[in-house]
Amino acid sequence: MVEKIGIAPLEVSASEAIGLVRQAEAGGFESAWTSGSHGYLRLAAFAQHTERITLGTAVVVQPLINPVAHADMLTDLGDLASGRAIAGIAGSGRSSTASTASSATRRSTPPPASASSSRCCAS
């Protein structure tokens, strides 16, 4: 069994967190995690200072954040981190199976015409 170790530098300044994540990556840690309203901002900074370590958010309760804005942030993070970004996403309600994890990737091609929404506008 392979053990994976991550770091969550939550209660330190942004510059201290970057230093800790760089040290963690050099020391063989597998992942770095954030939470809260500045989580994506910190992960973007970590992406610019690391090369290998996986970068992830703690569980985000989806109904509490605009899903389009969330998808945009996650997609941008995926780009900045060269595909090393992951997110914890939870639905609301009583279901104990509502939580899921998702990898962040950018579409290389536009969605099929059948996937377009009447709310979208052509550019």
Question: Please, are residues 21 and 50 in contact by the beta-carbon 8 Å criterion?
Answer: yes
Angle, CA 83 vertex, CA 25 and CA 68 arms, to 5°: 120
Residue 108 has pLDDT above 50, yes or no: no
Give the DSSP per-residue string, 59-92: EEEGGGS-HHHHHHHHHHHHHHTTT-EEEEEE--
As a whole number of angstroms, the longest Cα–Cα distance in the chain is 51
For residue 33, the tally of other CB atoms under 10 A from its CB is 21
Which strand (E) or helix (H) includes residue 41?
helix 39-49
**Residue 41's domain is classified under what CATH number?**
3.20.20.120
For the four alpha carbons of 51, 10, 103 and 69, in that order, the dihedral sign comes to negative
Range(s) of the domain holding residue 54? 6-96
Query: What pTM did the predictor assign?
Result: 0.69
Number of domains in the chain: 1
Q: Is residue 103 part of a domain?
A: no
Structure confidence by residue, pLDDT tens digits, 22-45:
999 999 999 999 987 678 999 999
Confidence check: pLDDT of 14 > 50: yes
Could you read off the pLDDT of 45-90 as tens digits, one per residue?
999 999 999 999 888 887 888 889 888 998 999 999 999 999 888 8
Is 82 within the bounds of a domain?
yes
Look at residue 115 and tell me whether its pLDDT is greater than 70. no
pLDDT of 4 reads 84
Whether residue 101 lies inside any domain: the answer is no
